[in-house]
Homo-oligomer: A and B are copies of this chain.
């Protein structure tokens, strides 16, 4: 059986229509959701748990005081330095998990959270290939200021 006959015999028209509709529905729904996504996120970020918020405020204040550079506590500064040492054992573009691993085996405390801190502070930045680089200037700025703070 050929031609239009074959198409209608196999219920082709409705299959095609249904198919096209579903594909559009799916992608339209998705594009709608993600177009709302960042608003939702902003909304959620209005309710961080108290501690976090306090920390944030403090950080922000420090931030302002330092002209956009986050302030580290002595301990944070300390581990920033330790991480620097570890990072130097690796290539300029290093793997974050390996750094984490090194931090763990060298027994730095709270390796995960500290690493996170460095990431948030922008001292460690992702490159285009899933590897990471160390922003030396920013690092110096922060660590020195932290020194002065003391």
List A residues at the B interface (Cβ < 8 Å).
89-91, 93, 98, 101-102, 105-106, 127-129
For this chain, the copies found in one complex come to 3
Tell me whether B93 and A89 are in contact (CB under 8 A). Answer: yes
A51 to B90, CA, bound (A): 41
Q: Which 3 residue pairs of A and B lie closest in terms of their CB atoms, listed nearest first?
A: A105-B128, A91-B91, A102-B128
CB neighbours (8 Å) of A90 from chain B are 93
Q: Are A102 and B129 in contact (CB under 8 A)?
A: yes
> Which of B91, B102, B129 is the one whose CB lies under 8 Å from A98?
B129
Instruction: Specify which chain B residues have a CB less than 8 angstroms from the CB of A105 in the assembled complex.
Output: 128
Question: Which of B89, B98, B101, B127 has a CB less than 8 Å from the CB of A89?
Answer: B127
